[in-house]
Amino acid sequence: MVLNRRIIVTVLVLIALALLPVLLGGAPFYIGVVARAMILAIAAISLNLILGYGNMFSFGHAVYIGIGAYTVGIFAHYDIFNGFIQWPVGLAVSALIALLFGAISLRTKGVYFIMITMALAQMMYFLGLSLDKYGADDGLVIYTRSEFAGLIDLEDHVTLYYVVFGFLLLTVLGMARLINSRFGLVIRATKFNEARMRALGFPVGRYKLTAFVLAGTICGLAGLLLGNFTNFVNPDMMHWTRSGELIFMVVLGGMGSVFGPIFGAITFLLLEEFLSDLTEHWQIVFGPFLILVVLFARGGIDGLLGRKDRSDD
Amino acid sequence: MTEPLLQVDSLIKRFGGLVATDQLSLDILPGEVHAVIGPNGAGKTTFIAQLAGELRPDAGTIHFKGRNITRLDPAQRSQRGLARSFQITSIFSGLTVEDNVALAVQAHAGHSFRFWRDARVDPSLREPAAATLQRVGLGNRRDGLAGNLAHGEQRQLELAMALATEPSLLLLDEPAAGMGADETERMVGLLQALKGTVAILLVEHDMNAVFALADRISVLVNGSCIATGTPEAIRNDDDVRRAYLGEDA
């Protein structure tokens, strides 16, 4: 591995993330912004698996954030705070919904796939709106975060920060391994030529569905973290515009790159914070910015850092 | 007589009013190179697509190694030893040349639900891939992006991918399509070297290549087979001359 600009920047970003609470001396606001960025980075990494590597353009990925967060919220609503119950259930439900939605949407391709994933996600959004018991459009306040038998105290915001950071590292490491594994190469090759993969003897559908479920489950993890972090869940988390933001993060950071979604998520949230301080119509600036990125920096941030070609990770 | 490797019986495929494959029957013997020729629109590519499983015939059966494979999908047929190359180059352009072939090896090395180990350094995939690339003359291009190969080299890669699945029957859809004379000659040489190791069904427009390679030739006109025989017999067949080579040939 050559020590190039891309690797240096990546390592520096990771070190900065690791040291941030120390550097900021525990200033809750900024730690919060970055923790949130890291949670969304986990979601964006999971989306990148199917979007960037697999060319499955899901426009409903935020649903799994909602499922994870609602799991924490609904359990807490019934005074069940045990994370060892909440978290496995949240991941399992995410996987099941992804299995169902994937089995339906992967029958289609191209723009139809986009529309169906979006429609299924909107269905969940409206389901959330209709759940009067769980706050409908007001959502649920999560007064108590997940408890892990006293092992970890998520109520402490620095601890929560490092839990998020730990999961981010795990996700990145897992993804770095995954994309060069046999499974990962199948997904990546399918992106280039699905008919060829079938002719080579791969039952392509199974692999795509597995990737879809994997992505949904990892995104469910991001949802569990987000519910804990914001102490709050509402249907808005599943709205299609949220899914669109995840796509922005992936594109901004660099599709089909391991670290790209982290750059994308951090940049996205920092821009959002910074621009919304200047004007409440911050999206007027943000929109054109994204168009410029798509037009002139197709590899996203990771591309600008010198990721050369598509076979790079 | 030897048992045929592939047996096609009364295959019919219609697209609306057009009968693309019309009562087509054909046998391929183990190890033979069987060329299918015919004028444009004779239904050659449609025929290959049905053999490979991408198109379902409306009627008729296909038997491979004595088993009925008419209802199997392309992946299942590939697993039984049927490989194909595509008329339009079909490679994974964003992966390396070796990745392309290693995937073909991987397709026939058990399931790919393996999520952790680095497949790019797995000798059980990489060594056969490298050997196959050597065989088709791409040994020194392994690490380049497949998309950066010259057209002729991409055709060679296409062949390597089909070979790496260790098929007993290769369906080659115009392997020399778009090639210059030199490249065509090299491709013919490659296929010549394969003769006897694997049965080949060859669809090709270059008649020099066909007559140099084929043990038997079938002539397709309007979706049905009007003659099958040795190159010599086909050359002298009156029906073939009339239908294919032109009235005054």
Chain A residues lying within 8 Å of B161, measured CB to CB: 196, 200
Q: In the prediction, which pLDDT does A296 show?
A: 82
Q: Which domains does chain B have, with CATH numbers?
A: 1-81+167-249 (3.40.50.300), 94-166 (no CATH)
Chain B residues lying within 8 Å of A198, measured CB to CB: 54, 73-75, 78
Nearest CB neighbour to B116, from listed A177, A188, A192: A177
- A312 assigned to some structural domain: no
Chain A residues lying within 8 Å of B54, measured CB to CB: 195, 198-199
The tens-digit pLDDT sequence of chain B (249 residues) is 578 999 999 999 999 989 999 999 999 999 999 999 988 888 999 999 999 999 999 999 999 999 999 999 999 999 999 999 998 889 999 999 999 999 999 999 999 999 999 999 999 999 999 999 999 999 999 999 999 999 999 999 999 999 999 999 999 999 988 888 899 999 999 999 999 899 999 999 888 899 999 999 999 989 999 999 999 999 888 888 887 666 554
Q: In the prediction, which pLDDT does B241 show?
A: 81
- A211 assigned to some structural domain: yes
The per-residue pLDDT for range A15-65, each reduced to its tens digit, is: 999 999 988 886 788 899 999 999 999 999 999 999 999 999 999 999 999
Instruction: For an interface test with B, give the residue of A1, A182, A187 to mutate (most B CBs within 10 A).
Output: A182
Say if CB A209 and CB A186 are below 8 A apart: no
Q: What angle do CA A257, A261, A263 make, to 5 degrees?
A: 105
Range of the domain at A159: 5-304
B83 touches chain A (CB under 8 A): yes
Instruction: Average the pLDDT over each of A75-89, A225-239, B229-243 and give the range with the smallest value.
Output: B229-243
* Interhelix angle A83-105/A62-77, nearest 10 degrees: 150
Pairing outcome for strands B216-221 and B199-203:
unpaired
* Rounded Cα gap, residues B33 and B37, in angstroms: 13
- A311 assigned to some structural domain: no
- A217 assigned to some structural domain: yes
Q: In the prediction, which pLDDT does A26 show?
A: 67
List CB contacts of B158: < 8 A, sequence separation 6 or more. B85, B86, B89, B90, B91, B175
The per-residue pLDDT for range A260-307, each reduced to its tens digit, is: 999 999 999 988 888 888 888 888 888 888 888 888 877 888 888 877
Three-state secondary-structure class, residue B166: coil
Task: Residue A94: name the closest of A72, A67, A123 by CA.
Answer: A67
Q: In the prediction, which pLDDT does A182 show?
A: 98
Q: In the prediction, which pLDDT does A24 show?
A: 83
pLDDT bucket at A313, cuts 50 / 70 / 90: low
- A124 assigned to some structural domain: yes
Q: In the prediction, which pLDDT does B247 show?
A: 54
Task: Residue A219: name the closest of A110, A78, A124, A155 by CA.
Answer: A124
Mean pLDDT of A97-125: 96
Q: Measure B96 CA to nearest chain A CA, in Å.
A: 7
Report the CATH number that the domain containing residue A62 is assigned in CATH: 1.10.3470
Contact between B112 and A186 using a beta-carbon 8 Å cutoff: yes
Say if CB B234 and CB B69 are below 8 A apart: no
- A87 assigned to some structural domain: yes
Question: Six-digit token pair at A143?
Answer: 């007064």
Chain B residues lying within 8 Å of A184, measured CB to CB: 115, 119
A53 touches chain B (CB under 8 A): no
For chain B, the residue count is: 249
Contact between A207 and B112 using a beta-carbon 8 Å cutoff: yes
Q: In the prediction, which pLDDT does A1 show?
A: 47
List CB contacts of B11: < 8 A, sequence separation 6 or more. B21, B23, B24, B25, B47, B50, B57, B59, B60, B61, B62
For residue A158, with 0-12 CB atoms within 10 Å meaning exposed, 13-18 middle and 19 or more buried, which class applies?
Answer: middle
Chain B residues lying within 8 Å of A197, measured CB to CB: 103, 107
Contact between B79 and A201 using a beta-carbon 8 Å cutoff: yes
B158 touches chain A (CB under 8 A): no
Contact between A199 and B117 using a beta-carbon 8 Å cutoff: no
* Rounded Cα gap, residues A35 and A165, in angstroms: 8
**Average pLDDT of the residues of chain A:** 92
B64 touches chain A (CB under 8 A): no
Chain A: residue whose CA lies nearest to B120: A180
* Interhelix angle A240-253/A260-278, nearest 10 degrees: 120
Q: In the prediction, which pLDDT does B249 show?
A: 43
Contact between B99 and A189 using a beta-carbon 8 Å cutoff: yes
- A252 assigned to some structural domain: yes
A150 touches chain B (CB under 8 A): no
Say if CB A75 and CB A228 are below 8 A apart: no
List CB contacts of B44: < 8 A, sequence separation 6 or more. B36, B37, B38, B173, B203, B220
Instruction: Average the pLDDT over each of A10-19, A59-68, A181-190 and give the range with the smallest value.
Output: A10-19
* Rounded Cα gap, residues B25 and B6, in angstroms: 11
Number of domains in chain A: 1
Q: Is the ipTM of this complex over 0.90?
A: yes
